[in-house]
Amino acid sequence: MSTVGIKELKNRLTEYLRRTKKGEEVIVTERGKPIAVIQSIESVERLQTLEAKLARLAAQGIVTLPVRKPRKKIRLVTASGRPVSETILNERR
């Protein structure tokens, strides 16, 4: 599943058609809002992916899709000293 804007789709149409031929669905967006789904003829009758269903709901205004891509890795923070839960329990007493 990939998402592409109209301008990029026009510039790389052959690449995206090749992807759909392999079975991938492509969501077309206009100013960040999904407006269409391109998929191969063979996959029309199959169940759609979660992303395609979410794109349809976003186009209907039922849900709002995130505007930023998710972070690949979240940095873990380590803390030294007593656990926070212990401090909270002591404060309650």
- Residue-wise pLDDT for 4-48, tens only, equals 999 999 999 999 999 998 888 999 999 888 999 898 766 665 657
Residue recorded with tokens 């505007």? 67
pTM: 0.53
CA distance 6 to 12: 10
Residues 6+ apart with CB under 8 A from 37: 25, 26, 27, 28, 48, 52, 55, 56
SS3 37: strand
pLDDT of 65: 82
Domain assignments of the chain as residue spans, ordered by start: 2-59
- CATH code for the structural domain at 2-59: 3.40.1620.10
Compute CA distances 28 → 25, 41, 66, whole Å. Answer: 10, 17, 15
Residue 75's pLDDT is what? 82
Does residue 27 sit in helix, strand or coil? strand
Is the per-residue pLDDT at 3 higher than 70? yes
